[in-house]
Chains A and B, each alone.
Chain A
Amino acid sequence: MSVLAALRTQNAVKIRRGLTLPVLLLIFWEAASRSGLVDARFLPSLEDVFLTAKRELVDNNLFGELAASLFRNIAGFVIGSAIGVVFATLLALSRWADALATPSFNGFKQISLLAWIPLISIWFGFGEQAKIVFVAIAAFIPVVLNTYEGMRNVPGDLIEVGRALKFTPVQRVTRIFLPAAMPSIATGVHLGLIYSWLATVGAEYFLAVGPGIGGLIIAGRERFDMALVMVGVIILGLVGFLLNRLAAAGEAYLLRWRVTAH
């Protein structure tokens, strides 16, 4: 009981410490804009931001914008990471595919994502499709890198057990390679989720304006409504934070067979 209580307080202390800096920043922000230290047009007051958020939520379709962004993010993420896992598995398990494609992939991954935007927009248009492709590429790269790494490090001992038990090639992949590489794959997918959220905003900035949080921020800039920009930025941060927590929880569940390390 006392251990549990201690844990709870330890956790509480951790959360308190984590919140200290954001709260101080908020106070500084509020003080700066109230005292006239900075121009309220450049840095709106907290109250302004709050009222704008309320206005967007009630009068406009803030949830719709958020849903549009999230849909793009998830669609691109799922496509990119699924293709990534399959592609990396192929590279890691086939010497032939490895020799053929790995050098090209290593070159490909060095190219800035943003450099693809003109090509993507020519090939896939300016609509939803192009944005999803862009997000998918962002998720694809970390998933491939980590899955490949994980598959390459599967212990030979376990592969030999599979040999002794007459595993078929399919069983070898599903029973040994995929689960043994799961910690690495999870890391890749986790990174892919973060990258794809960043890329979602990028796609909304650089490809044609449509519904979405990125579009909201662009609208704020064009109307010189910094409060609206701030609302967008805060939402991006919060969603990113939540996605990260979600991924960590999923990872912990999938890898519950591992020795718990603190």
Chain B
Amino acid sequence: MTSPAHLKIRNVTRRFNVNGTALTALDDVSLDIKAGEFVTIVGASGCGKSTLLRLGAGLDVEHDGVIEHGGRRVDGPSLDRGIVFQEPRLFPWLTVERNVSLGLENAAFSKAEKRELVSEQIALVGLSGFEKAYPHQLSGGMAQRAGIARGLVNRPDVLFLDEPFGALDAITKARLQGELQQIWAAEKITMVLVTHDVDEAVYLGDRVVIMSPRPGRIRQIVPVDLPHPRERTSPELAAIRNGVLDILNGTTGEAPKPVTRPSAARRPAASANPIHAAHRTKPARPAFSTTEI
């Protein structure tokens, strides 16, 4: 109350009208995020975590309650709030360079400054040498790097990330998580990341917001008081991850139990989401994602 939160979400409720019936996606959600904080939001499908992100970014403004950024009401998108989507959403007719510079299209920089910022940003996400490539020539990981660069190039106050690594393979995912953490540490941009991967949530977040579905509510907020950059395999991190998984289990009753040594045989088959269940039965699933819910 004394220190104003950078991003303030107070008693936010969002209802959708699905075929005439009202569906409550978010029910009385309140969350304060400090400047420079890395907050991750994790929860099962349908818990409203992406809805919350879209509301925070201002892409959706149909809600009850208050959302404020820097003391001002969020009533639409703003260049102070960047967003990275699950799909890279690059413009296929533009090169990587031009796609990234879209983030500066309406920013108050000179042409020369923009060019410099774009090439800096491309170097930061490790795409140097691919400036002139078209999106169809990039791998999934490279395209997502370009999407992140586009969201970051304007140096927004807050960057919202909506399952940015959800569609990537485990190795690329781990590498990009590390790079995102470095960028965050270097640039001190507030980051809000939505994910369904518990490992990712505890590895990146200063706080992990756990949400429960139907209706979408914040179940618990777990602080991760470990210095960045973190060791993926550290026992402290594993303990926190297991704690988060326990809480998540309570939200649906069906989420998988924590697995310390991943093995296909011990993996539970039942899940609230048939898609995830289908994935889980595949024995070839990479060991990294056993804690995805």
Contact = CB atoms under 8 A, between A and B. Distances in A.
A164 B105 CA distance: 12
Given A180-B93, A257-B92, A257-B136, A165 B102 contact: yes
Contact of A179 (B59, B93, B103, B136): B93
Contacts of A165: 77, 79, 102-103, 105-106
A105 B54 CA distance: 39
B59 A157 contact: no
B57 interface: yes
B103 A257 contact: no
A176 interface: yes
Interface in A142-186: 157-158, 160-161, 163-168, 171, 175-176, 179-180, 182
Contacts of A179: 91, 93-94
A157 B85 CA distance: 9
Interface residues of A, number: 19
B152 to A, nearest CB: 13
Contact of A163 (B77, B102, B135): B77
B83 A164 contact: yes
A258 B93 CA distance: 7
A168 B91 contact: no
A160 B103 contact: no
A259 interface: yes
B246 interface: no
A161 B106 contact: no
B276 interface: no
A171 B103 CA distance: 13
Given A161-B89, A167-B105, A171-B105, A259 B78 contact: no
Given A171-B105, A257-B134, A158 B89 contact: yes
Interface string B34-49: 0000000000000000
A166 B103 contact: no
Interface in A175-215: 175-176, 179-180, 182
A164 B93 contact: no
B136 A259 contact: yes
A245 to B, nearest CB: 23
Given A165-B79, A257-B92, A257-B136, A175 B87 contact: no
Contacts of B106: 165-168, 171
Contacts of A182: 93
Nearest to B77: A164
B134 A163 contact: no
Contacts of B79: 165-166
Contact of A175 (B57, B59, B82, B105): B105
A166 B77 contact: yes
Contacts of B78: 166
Contacts of A158: 89, 91
A182 B91 CA distance: 12
B220 to A, nearest CB: 30
Given A257-B134, A258-B136, A164 B59 contact: yes
Contacts of B83: 164
B32 to A, nearest CB: 23
A182 B92 CA distance: 11
A35 B102 CA distance: 71
A12 B59 CA distance: 55
B91 A176 contact: yes
Contacts of B89: 157-158, 160-161
Interface in B157-194: none
Given A166-B78, A179-B91, A160 B105 contact: no
Nearest to A256: B134
A160 B134 CA distance: 20
Contacts of A167: 105-106
Interface in B220-270: none
Interface string B181-221: 00000000000000000000000000000000000000000
Contacts of B82: 164
B257 to A, nearest CB: 36
Nearest to A155: B89
Contacts of A166: 77-79, 106
Interface in B82-130: 82-83, 85, 87, 89, 91-94, 102-103, 105-106
A62 to B, nearest CB: 42
B91 A157 contact: no
B93 A257 contact: yes
A160 B57 CA distance: 12
Of A160, A164, A176, A257, most buried by chain B (CB within 10 Å of CB) is A164
7 contacts: A161-B85, A163-B77, A165-B102, A165-B105, A167-B105, A176-B91, A258-B136
Interface of B: 57, 59, 77-79, 82-83, 85, 87, 89, 91-94, 102-103, 105-106, 134-136
Interface of A: 157-158, 160-161, 163-168, 171, 175-176, 179-180, 182, 257-259
Closest 9 CB pairs of A and B: A257-B93, A179-B93, A259-B136, A257-B134, A164-B77, A164-B83, A166-B106, A161-B89, A157-B89
